[in-house]
Structure 1
Amino acid sequence: MLMSSLGRVLCSVLYIALLVIPGLVYAADAKDNLHKITLSIKNLQGDFTQFEYDERGRPLRVLQGKFKMTNKLQLWWQVAPPYAQTVISNGTHTMIYDDDLQQLIVRALDTENLPPFFFMASNPQLLDQMTIDQPDPEDPTFFLSDSNTDIFVRFNRRLPVEISWENELNQKIMINFSRVTKNRRLAKKIFDFKPPPGTSIITD
């Protein structure tokens, strides 16, 4: 089901082999460069295209949708039909609503396993806990790694354009961002999800 797949995208332990590239800048410099980017972000919104590949690199499916997020750990992540689903974080809990099942799963927010939040300036502790490498100090492409998470992140003009990793099934997940803007006014109510009448609610 999409819910389990998107849950892995946003909440599960992520795996991707860290690329070893000669000439990496010092980790401290890479971390400082990434901090400068994230500190400039108060919120983001735009479109995304998510590509999923199996362990042999064969395409599994493509998901598209829109997102909004803030540096207060608020997230609105909506997948378009035919895989319609909405993931919302209000800063303390994550809610996953499946349109087809009319089902809402509510769970405590786990910031360490939410890759999009690596862009958020409100969570410098996430970056501080990771090893960060940057092959070229002039190119805002970063490799982030800790004991159980390795992620590739690329920016352009201080806006995220790509993030990728492998999940626990050795499937590669790559998300491309487009039409991204930052620090524009967002309505707070978008992060206050109210499920439709008749929705089955599950607390995880």
Structure 2
Amino acid sequence: MKKFPSYVFIVRSFMSQISSLFLIFFFCIALSPRVALAETSMTSMTSMTSMPSRQLASLLANQLNFTADFTQQSFNSEDVVVDRSSGHIVLSRPFNLRWETKVPFAQTIIINGDRYLQYDSDIDQLIISSLGSQDTAIPSLLLSADASAIESFFTVSRVALNSVVDRDHQGDIDNVNIDKINISDELSSLNNHSYVLTPLDKSSLIADLRINFHQQLITSIVILDDFGSRSQFDFNNITASKALDRALFELDPPANTDIIYR
């Protein structure tokens, strides 16, 4: 195993915790189960218009598989970029995620059912934990969320992507492959909108979370905190509803890997 100063592990651990928080939070919202779509499809268009949370659940549930390149930027309260990362994301319902960071360091996070795996190749370390464990109880609960559960945690509002600010935060809309997406008439009317989720819990460190859609696909997610900082995830080269190899959600580390169970 490679030897590194102790501070490397401390810094890496802190960065991983922050990234994982945003990652799991996004994953929990993005993989709303199929029941949400079934529930929404039974709702009239008039009702949908007055229920943004149902619209959001329907759009999310319609994306069975999702792959994209991502860039993540963290801004401080003065809107200065303090951190950047990029990589590739693969989502497959129900509850399969591969989040592979390539820059500034290599890290692979996989969620497969109730398992969470985090592999850092440069320090030969693999962390394995269960989403049912005490420290992931809330993410585990959110993973089983439907539209009603979203309403239990957030107030949801919908805005059209018309403003300059909205366009700046909607991500790369030029590289989208939607040839294989089956979009209902109801969903087609929800094109190019942003959904703002505000936590009901006033003690939450997250002020709000914005999910931007173009042609019924997620193009960016912006998370604002109570300190005025924000993290922005932009997605490009997006493909949806393409059959995915199940092996993407497994991980076979090298023999010399240090494996930690939590």
Specify if TM > 0.5: yes
Task: Give the 3 Å change call, closer, same or farther, for CA 167–103 of structure 1 in structure 2.
Answer: farther
Task: Give the 3 Å change call, closer, same or farther, for CA 145–95 of structure 1 in structure 2.
Answer: same
1:88 maps onto 2:101 in alignment? no
1:29 maps onto 2:51 in alignment? yes
TM-score for both structures, normalised by structure 2: 0.63
Structural RMSD (CA): 3.0
Higher helix share: 2
Greater RCO, 1 or 2 (C-alpha within 8 Å, sep 6+): 1
Offset of 1:35 from its aligned partner? Answer: 2.4
Offset of 1:92 from its aligned partner? Answer: 0.5
* Equivalent of residue 48 in structure 1, options 65, 70, 91: 70
Q: Distance in 2 between matches of 1:28 and 1:106?
A: 42
Which residue of 2 is the match for residue 199 of structure 1? 257
Structure 1 gaps of 5+ residues are 14-25
1:105 maps onto 2:127 in alignment? yes
Larger Rg: 2
The alignment covers a number of residue pairs equal to: 188
Offset of 1:201 from its aligned partner? Answer: 1.5
TM-score for both structures, normalised by structure 1: 0.79
1:6 counterpart SS class: helix
2:16 counterpart SS class: helix
Post-superposition Cα deviations, 1:30-84, rounded to whole Å, max 9, x if no partner, equal: 1222122123111101110100122332211211111101121110010114311
Which residue of 1 is the match for residue 17 of structure 2? 4
Q: Distance in 2 between matches of 1:3 and 1:72?
A: 24
Q: Percent identity?
A: 21
Offset of 1:97 from its aligned partner? Answer: 0.9
Structure 2 letter corresponding to 1:131: T
Q: Where do 1:88-167 residues align within 5 Å?
A: 88-109=110-131, 110=136, 113=139, 123-125=145-147, 126-129=149-152, 130-136=154-160, 139-146=192-199, 147=201, 148=204, 149=206, 150-166=208-224
Q: Distance in 2 between matches of 1:169 and 1:189?
A: 40
1:65 maps onto 2:78 in alignment? no
Higher strand share: 1
